[in-house]
Structure 1
Amino acid sequence: MVTTSIPATRVPPTLGVLLAGGLARRMGGGDKPMRTIGGRTILERVIARLSPQCDALILNANGDPARFSPFGLQVVADDVPGFPGPLAGVLAALDWTATNRPDIDWVLSAAGDCPFVPRDLVTRLHEARARENAELAVAASGGQSHPVIGLWRVALRNELRHALVVEDLRKIDRWTARYPLATVTWAAEPLDPFFNANTVEDIAEAERLAALDDAA
């Protein structure tokens, strides 16, 4: 059988950042990744999926970092004020990586409320980026792009800071449109790997999907 995945030894060192800095307004506030589905927090599920794929994991979150201490991850807050959105979390991760892991050139961002992220996420994104000679790579499923879930080159951090602070740019797709971008699509059936829990109703659906996923 022919495989399209590149060998793990050829995947560049990659740091993963779990973005958990949102305000969860549609759930009445609080930390969405701390909600429980199938007996485990959403964050536990994301960590279990991404830990084997990344050289290290950090968590982007604002407020008291002690609430995440049970997970044993470095918590990095936004340094751009006003909750400007996920791009600020990506920037915080790029800056942290440049300072603390200068051996790593790539950061993988993932939403902290996506409990079913693919186990081949990092490999396939790197494969597409390299094949298409792209600067960035993002995930897609069900005819929809998921720009929060993607690969970012650490060397672009100063350009991203300028866009956020000087240009007041907030939308991820407006940022990614400036660079050669690879998009990798995953099947959305029987389970969309990028399902995210945004509402209380989504938690009920996540329980059903978790049962399918855990049985697979």
Structure 2
Amino acid sequence: MTDHGAERVAERGYDAVVAAGGAGSRLGGVDKPALTVGGRPLLDRVIAACPDARRVLVVGPERPTERAGVRWLREDPPGGGPVAAVAAALPAVTAPRILLLAADLPFLDTATVRRLLAALDDPDRDGALLTDATGRDQPLAAAYRTAALRTALTALGAPAGRPLRHLLAGLRLARLPDPAHASFDCDTWADLAEARDREHGGR
């Protein structure tokens, strides 16, 4: 590989940041990332979609995972929300791009991860996120430039309890349709039942 080619590969490298510190309140407080679809914990399904991540940083209580070498971090305060999760992870990020994911995306796949990252090949974009079937943004199924997130976080101030839309408000974002349902998340027992049905061939 030429030096120029190696530089391009380095620029496209990414770290995966998984927000896994939520309380699962709509599920009665169960450990949502540990719930299974297709016999695998949701967290493992998400991590498996990022096989070439330089680092996998999970923000939340430590749990067993299939992937070795996961780094565990905690928000300040614990359970402080997704912006607090970003703030906890950013000091440990070394790659130029961040894949920012919820821990409850049973249908996230490697092809979707690559679509998100490829969208950042446009130098005028700070991030790329999926939009669901209703057109709603899914900022925890997204890729961002590390430098842009750091700048936005500094400008935002205290992160605890802040919604992601406040952090992302000034970023130039690409919005990608999601035909594979990769942004489908399991917030309720009905969502989990639907995911399990889809996994077994239901519609």
| 1:141 matched to 2:149 | no
SS of 1:68's partner is coil
| Displacement after TM superposition at 1:125 (Å) | 1.9
SS of 1:148's partner is strand
Ranges in structure 1 where 5+ consecutive residues have no aligned partner: 1-7
Q: Give per-residue Cα distances to partners, 1:90-140, cap 9 Å, x unaligned.
A: 22221111xxx3xx1111111100011132233222332333611122111
> Are 2:20 and 2:60, in contact at CA under 8 Å, matched by a contact in 1?
yes
SS of 1:131's partner is coil
Which residue of structure 2 aligns with residue 93 of structure 1? 89
Q: Give per-residue Cα distances to partners, 1:24-54, cap 9 Å, x unaligned.
A: 00011132010122222112211222224x2
**Given the alignment, which residue of 38, 63, 68 partners 2:64?**
68
Which residue of structure 1 aligns with residue 3 of structure 2? none
Q: Give per-residue Cα distances to partners, 1:127-179, cap 9 Å, x unaligned.
A: 3233361112211121221011222332232541451418x671212221212
**AA in 2 matched with 1:204:** A
**AA in 2 matched with 1:74:** R
| 1:108 matched to 2:99 | yes
Identity %: 29
Which residue of structure 2 aligns with residue 121 of structure 1? 112
Moved runs in structure 1, 4+ residues, more than 3 A?
8-11, 67-72
> Are 1:169 and 1:175, in contact at CA under 8 Å, matched by a contact in 2?
no
Ranges in structure 2 where 5+ consecutive residues have no aligned partner: 1-7
- 1:165-184 aligned at under 5 Å gives the runs 165=158, 170-184=162-176
Cα 1:175–1:211 change in 2 (3 A) is same
Report the number of matched residues: 192
Distance in 2 (CA, whole Å) between partners of 1:169 and 1:30 is: 21
Distance in 1 (CA, whole Å) between partners of 2:119 and 2:67 is: 31
SS of 1:165's partner is coil
> Are 2:156 and 2:166, in contact at CA under 8 Å, matched by a contact in 1?
no
Cα 1:196–1:169 change in 2 (3 A) is closer
Distance in 1 (CA, whole Å) between partners of 2:140 and 2:162 is: 12
> Are 1:93 and 1:107, in contact at CA under 8 Å, matched by a contact in 2?
no
Distance in 1 (CA, whole Å) between partners of 2:124 and 2:161 is: 25
SS of 2:131's partner is strand
Which residue of structure 2 aligns with residue 46 of structure 1? 46
**AA in 1 matched with 2:102:** A
Q: CA RMSD in A?
A: 2.6
- TM-score normalized by the length of structure 1: 0.77
> Are 1:132 and 1:182, in contact at CA under 8 Å, matched by a contact in 2?
no
- TM-score normalized by the length of structure 2: 0.82
Which residue of structure 2 aligns with residue 55 of structure 1? 54
Q: Give per-residue Cα distances to partners, 1:47-106, cap 9 Å, x unaligned.
A: 222224x222121104xx2x336653211111x326331111122221111xxx3xx111
Distance in 1 (CA, whole Å) between partners of 2:155 and 2:163 is: 14
> Are 1:128 and 1:183, in contact at CA under 8 Å, matched by a contact in 2?
no
- 1:31-42 aligned at under 5 Å gives the runs 31-42=31-42
